[in-house]
Structure 1
Amino acid sequence: MIQQGDREKELVRIARRIADNVCVWSIRELNPLVVHQRTRRLIFVEVEKGAMKRVFEEFLDQRFRNVYLETDTKWVMSHVGGSDYDVFVRQLVTRAPLEDVKKGIPSLEKIIVDLFEDGFVYGVSRSPDLAHLIRNAFSTYSIDVRTLRTYARRRGNYDHLSKFIEWLAVVPPEVLRDP
């Protein structure tokens, strides 16, 4: 589902020099699943907490522009804009599900949980856009509910997310319950 462009691949290559666990993706990759298309490229580079500052500094040393160390998301999102792309260095949640660990590509389950938890960061709050995205993700792709459940619990939001998914009626309610 997620395809990395040249810029994302370069960010993975640089971040891997410092961090073992890397996840890189752009919000524009979700355009096929939403009504309101994203024109700006918000790129998220997620690494373990101890590597965030070093990865951020390395991006600056490599002359990447518009790079932000995400410590105060609300401030960043209210003050960032006007460029074709912005790069956010964020903390990667431990044991986050990745589709391709080597390339640092997140799974769709991870993205759904993260969008539900931090939607305002990505510009997709708990709005019709988020509902549309989740509905389309479930109808277009094979979503592993077990992976979704495990990661959402790790993020501490499975109860709310499962109620939201149940409200969307994209899967039978019993599928969302523990086996």
Structure 2
Amino acid sequence: MQNKIPSYFEGHKPISKNDLVERILEDFPNLKESSINVYLSKLKKQGILKNPTRGIYALKGKQEFYPVINAKLKRLFNKVKKDYPFIDFCAWNTIWLNDLMRHQPFKFYTILELDKDATQSVFYKLKDQGKQVFLEPDAETFELYIHNSDNVIIIKQLVSEAPLLETENVVIPSLEKLLVDMIVDTNLYAAQQGELDFIYQSAFDKFEVNQGKMKRYAQRRNREKEVEQRTNLTLANS
């Protein structure tokens, strides 16, 4: 049966569990549904199938989102971690989004997202060290000071229970978080606003995207309906 499994996923598109079971039964009518369920669980453990959201199956094979962490970002992360060992925070750079875009921005920003209580303290500490740092900048600040500057660090409040991951001992936002945030924070993601459809399509085509994780975070950011509509449109075009 294993050799038949890929044929049930036309163009590698995800399908519902019910549809998958029906297609298996068409080829193997003597199988019991309970036996199929056990076999599907086995294929998940073997890494042949994935279960991106409840009731949906897809073929494994896309990349996991693990962008390159450069030395500069590592140093900044480690510095903040040393000075504030008990806060939750993540660090990243907007250059990571270039892999998902058609038109490449020329300016990139380092982003620190921290617990609310730590944002001002970290801001003043970095400013005292001579860093070009901005705290929760608004549209006017971006226009006047940030868009034409280099080596900018932007500090923002980290939304509680935001989906994060750790790679190379650095905590970074997950792809699901970035996809939701770029719909919410139109100032920080100004360069991406004209390419949201393309970015979503690129993300879903290239990487594993956990739709359940995305939905939960979108709820926390009060953008569930908008994110769901864009996700559904993206999947329909895949």
**TM bracket (short chain):** 0.7 to 0.9
Which amino acid letter does the alignment assign opposite residue 211 of structure 2?
A: V
| Partners of 1:118 and 1:125 within 8 A in 2 | no
Q: Is 2:117 aligned against 1:117?
A: no
The more displaced of 8-17 and 142-151 is: 8-17
The more displaced of 134-143 and 19-28 is: 19-28
Partner SS state of residue 143, structure 1: coil
Q: Kindly report which structure 2 residues correspond to 1:87-102, keeping only aligned pairs within 5 A, or say none.
A: 87-100=153-166, 102=169
| Partners of 1:99 and 1:106 within 8 A in 2 | yes
Q: Select 1:34's aligned residue among 101, 109, 121.
A: 101
| CA distance in structure 1 between the partners assigned to 2:161 and 2:214 by the alignment | 12
Q: Is 2:161 aligned against 1:161?
A: no
Larger radius of gyration: 2
Which amino acid letter does the alignment assign opposite residue 90 of structure 1?
A: K
Q: Is 2:211 aligned against 1:138?
A: no
Which residue of the partner structure matches residue 177 of structure 1?
Answer: none
| CA distance in structure 1 between the partners assigned to 2:98 and 2:189 by the alignment | 12
| Partners of 1:34 and 1:133 within 8 A in 2 | yes
| Partners of 1:22 and 1:104 within 8 A in 2 | yes
Q: Select 2:76's aligned residue among 11, 14, 29.
A: 11
Which amino acid letter does the alignment assign opposite residue 180 of structure 2?
A: V
Which residue of the partner structure matches residue 82 of structure 1?
Answer: 148
How much does 1:85 deviate? 2.4
Which segments of 5 or more consecutive residues in structure 2 lack a partner in the other structure? 1-65
| Partners of 1:135 and 1:168 within 8 A in 2 | yes
Which residue of the partner structure matches residue 117 of structure 2?
Answer: 50
How much does 1:5 deviate? 1.7
| CA distance in structure 2 between the partners assigned to 1:83 and 1:74 by the alignment | 15
Number of residue pairs aligned between Structure 1 and Structure 2 = 169
Q: Kindly report which structure 2 residues correspond to 1:65-76, keeping only aligned pairs within 5 A, or say none.
A: 66-70=132-136, 72-76=137-141
Partner SS state of residue 120, structure 1: coil
Pairwise CA RMSD of aligned residues? Answer: 1.9
| CA distance in structure 1 between the partners assigned to 2:208 and 2:160 by the alignment | 23
How much does 1:36 deviate? 1.2
How much does 1:165 deviate? 1.9
How much does 1:163 deviate? 0.8
The structure-2 alpha-carbon separation of the partners of 1:138 and 1:170, relative to structure 1 and needing over 3 Å to count, comes to farther
| Partners of 1:135 and 1:170 within 8 A in 2 | no
| CA distance in structure 2 between the partners assigned to 1:171 and 1:52 by the alignment | 40
Percent identity (aligned):
26
| CA distance in structure 2 between the partners assigned to 1:124 and 1:155 by the alignment | 21
How much does 1:57 deviate? 1.1
